[in-house]
Amino acid sequence: MNIFEEILWSQFIKLDRISKLQLNEQVKEYNQYIYDLSLARQSWLNNQNKGPRRTTPTPPVEEGFLLQEDLFDLLQETGDKIIITT
Q: Whole-number mean pLDDT of the chain?
A: 83
Distance in angstroms (rounded) separating the CA atoms of residues 34 and 69: 41
User: What share of the chain has pLDDT > 90, as a percent?
Assistant: 45
Amino acid at 5: E
Q: What is the mean pLDDT of residues 22-39?
A: 96
Q: pLDDT at residue 85 above 70?
A: no
Q: pLDDT at residue 35 above 90?
A: yes
Distance in angstroms (rounded) separating the CA atoms of residues 73 and 81: 6
Give how far Cα 34 sits from Cα of 12, 13, 27, 56, Å. Answer: 11, 13, 10, 42
pTM of the predicted structure, to 2 decimals: 0.56
Domain ranges of the chain: 9-46, 56-86
Distance in angstroms (rounded) separating the CA atoms of residues 61 and 12: 58
Query: What pLDDT digit, counting tens, does each position of 39-54 carry?
Result: 999 999 888 877 777 6
